[in-house]
Structure 1
Amino acid sequence: MAVADLMVITFVVILYEIINAYFPHSFFNHTTICKCILTIIFISLDCSVWLTVAFTFDRFIAICHQMLRAKYCTEKNVSVVIAVVFCTSIVENIPYYFIYEPREVVNGVEWSCYVKSSFYTLPIWAAFLWLETILSPFAPYVLILLLNSLTIRHIILANRVRSGLRANNNTAKHTDPEMENRRKSIVLLLAISGSFILLWMVNLICYIYVQFTNMQFLEASYNDPFSIAELSGYMLNSLSSCTNTFIYAASQRKFREELKHVIKWPMALVAKVTNYIK
């Protein structure tokens, strides 16, 4: 997840948005390079989204199906799932390379990228756009909502049973570490679901809107409401890639311990060097 999200930040934010805005005629804005960058952007976004879905499914199995946990939640299965997600994302998004044409030609040199008009008229591209809309982000929307809802429902039901048993044993007034862990899990799952839904909503609406109107992507008309919404959606997608990994990582005790160790290490090194000099 971290690698996929780092790819999103590198290619979307640095190599596309920043360079395109401040260095419009740099090497990265040649049409061929631009097409490669845009294709990698879609690949990295798909990897980020579907690894989030895979992680959510892993938590669902670990919490709701204890019998399958030992068989499914293994390093071997994790490696297979990650490999399948990355390979599928690459194959699925290769067609994006062929939907762009030069935005302008200066002295025989092709610059920037623009979506071909045939992309919105040819049946094969229309089918591809529908498939992309379903696979990302509509299907992840549904899967993350469904899996997290089922997980939260399972936790709530288990809490009720546990509370009843503790009440019968007259121990209800004491703190229950297990109940506290389950509450944290619910907060985590709600944070992931809410973050993903809110940050991908604009992009989902834009995809659906293009399907039923004559609007086109990457018009780059900053006075047009659709272009503003589209660019805002891309910005929120990039933010989503940051928040998901941070929420998952920051919620893990071992990660927090390692982070504290990283922060303390330079100070410990300085103190050690100072004592050595003395």
Structure 2
Amino acid sequence: MERDFDEVELLPANLTVCSHEEEHWFRDNSRQIIQRFLVPFVVAVGVMGNLITILVLTRRRMSSSTNNYLSALAVADLLYLLFHFTLSLKHYPGMSAPDKIIYWTYRPYVLWLTDATNAASIWLTVSFTLERYIAVCHPLRGRMSCTESRARKVIVLVFVLCLLLTASTPFEHLVSVCLNSNGTKELYLAATTLAQNKHYRSFYFSFTTIVMIFIPIFLLGICNIFLVSAVHRSKSKRPDLTQDRGHSNYRQNQENKITLTLVMVVSLFIICQAPTAILLIYQIFVRNKPNSNAFNIELGLGNIFNFLVCVNSASNFILYCIMSDKYRRTLMMTLVPCLAKTKKSRTFSSLASFRNSTRHNHSTCS
């Protein structure tokens, strides 16, 4: 889940003076470098990559239940990157001025949508991994359950549930005004009565940590092990290629490539999400005092770990280009339409050659 680690403390709304004590260098540098330099670059690359992915995976020739999930994941990642960038604007000069009241009024809702789209990305990743596990390890059951229709229903369910489960976020924040050390008014988000309720904070923190972090990482780790093992068994048992078995072996190779692509997507997800999970575990057992050295280091690490989530949302496009031949071909034919006619003619000529070759071999054997 997206955590706003830059908020030093959930402050009550009746505070009238801003606290601007000297921050730890690590927190300050990590925040400035990441939020004002790295985030805009990663968001620009990620938005472009996810738009291309949506364009490619929604083509008719790419239609499949897995690609439905990957298209939905690209939409969730695209929205997450845009909302994340909106949140990062807080760190630019002048953004706390009273004339930016519209930004601060809508910021709680952007926090909600950021959490919701991040959660959707997490559970869409879990969904297509579980589907792939069923299709690879239980193929008979997979033919019945791994359909495009079911995938679309799961996608809608994931988005709706993630929006509902994070819907309390806007009610945790209230726009307030404080005075800095120069006597200038600044806007900030104060904690509402709900956010200051110990029972609510304890329950919601535990719930989101378990449901949005630990359970998904556990499921993805287990499924990844089974998928890698299944691909390894498939390659080791594969018979020598022959003319008669060429089609089935080609199809198995393509299935293995799809599985390996998803394994790489999941592995990147775990690598980028695991640091946040570790930090959340630390926060369960250790509560540092605000503005202490340990607290500022924790905030600096939080900035870095949130950035890793951002990198994850922007990187799937690169994995698809590296791992999937069909994705690359469809991308080229989409961007350069004239290639589609050339590819089609080559396909027909190759098919004719294959049929003639097969017919010749059959007559020779007889």
Secondary structure (helix, strand or coil) at the match of 1:94 reads coil
Check whether the contact 1:8–1:41 (CA below 8 A) recurs between aligned residues: yes
In the superposition, relative to structure 1, how do residues 183 and 258 fare at CA in structure 2: closer, same or farther (>3 Å)?
A: closer
Report the residue type matching 1:226 in the other structure: E
| Structure-2 residue corresponding to 1:80 | 153
RMSD (Å) for aligned C-alpha atoms: 3.5
Query: Is residue 122 of structure 1 aligned with residue 178 of structure 2?
Result: no
CA shift in 2, pair 1:94/1:242, >3 Å = same
Deviation sequence 1:10-64 (CA, Å, 0-9, x none):
1002x1113543551435532x311001011000100111111111112112211
Q: Which of 69, 82, 87 is the matching residue for 1:16?
A: 87
- Is 1:231 aligned to residue 322 of structure 2? no
Aligned-partner SS, 2:287: coil
Post-superposition offset of 1:152: 1.5
| Secondary structure of residue in 2 paired with 1:214 | coil
Measure the CA separation in 2 of the matches of 1:240 and 1:190: 14
1:199-238 superposed Cα distances (whole Å, 9 cap, x missing partner): 1122112222222222489x8x999111111111111111
What's the TM-score, normalizing by structure 1?
Answer: 0.77
2:169 is equivalent to residue 96 of structure 1: yes
Counterpart residue type for residue 129 of structure 2? T
Of 258, 267, 280, the residue aligned with 1:207 is 280
Task: State, as a whole percentage, how many aligned pairs show the same letter.
Answer: 20
- Work out the CA distance in 2 between the residues paired with 1:77 and 1:186: 19
1:227 maps to a residue whose letter is: L
Q: Is the alpha carbon distance of 1:123 and 1:157 closer, same or farther for their aligned partners in structure 2, counting shifts above 3 Å?
A: same
Distance 2:227 2:295 in 1: 44
Deviation at 1:7, TM superposition (A): 0.5
Contact 1:144 1:193 in 2 (8 A): yes
Which residue of structure 2 aligns with residue 172 of structure 1? none
Which amino acid in the other structure matches residue 200 of structure 1?
Q
Distance 1:94-1:246 versus aligned 2 partners, 3 A rule: farther
2:267 is the counterpart of 1:197: no
1:52/1:244 contact within 8 Å kept? no
Alpha-carbon displacement from aligned partner over 1:77-133 (angstroms, at most 9, x marks no partner): 0111001100110111012222224464479x9834355697476123201101100
Aligned match for 1:143, one of 219, 228, 241: 219
Asked whether the 8 Å contact 1:4–1:44 carries over to 2, the reply is: yes
Distance verdict in 2 for CA 1:120–1:229, change over 3 Å: farther
| Cα gap change, 1:197 to 1:246, in 2 (>3 Å) | same
The question of 1:160 aligning with 2:216 is answered: no
Shift >6 Å, 4+ stretches: none
Distance 2:287 2:196 in 1: 8
Find the structure with the greater CA-based Rg.
2
Aligned partners of 1:3 and 1:135: how far apart in 2? 21
Q: Work out whether residues 126 and 220 of structure 2, in 8 Å CA contact, stay in contact via their aligned partners in 1.
A: yes
Show the counterpart of 2:350.
none
Alpha-carbon distance between aligned partners in 2 of 1:128 and 1:113, rounded to the nearest angstrom: 19
Compared CA separation, residues 125 and 28, structure 1 to 2 (3 A): same
1:111 match: secondary structure? strand
Q: Normalization by structure 2: what TM-score?
A: 0.60
Q: How far apart are 1:186 and its partner, in Å?
A: 6.0
- State the partner residue of 1:276: none
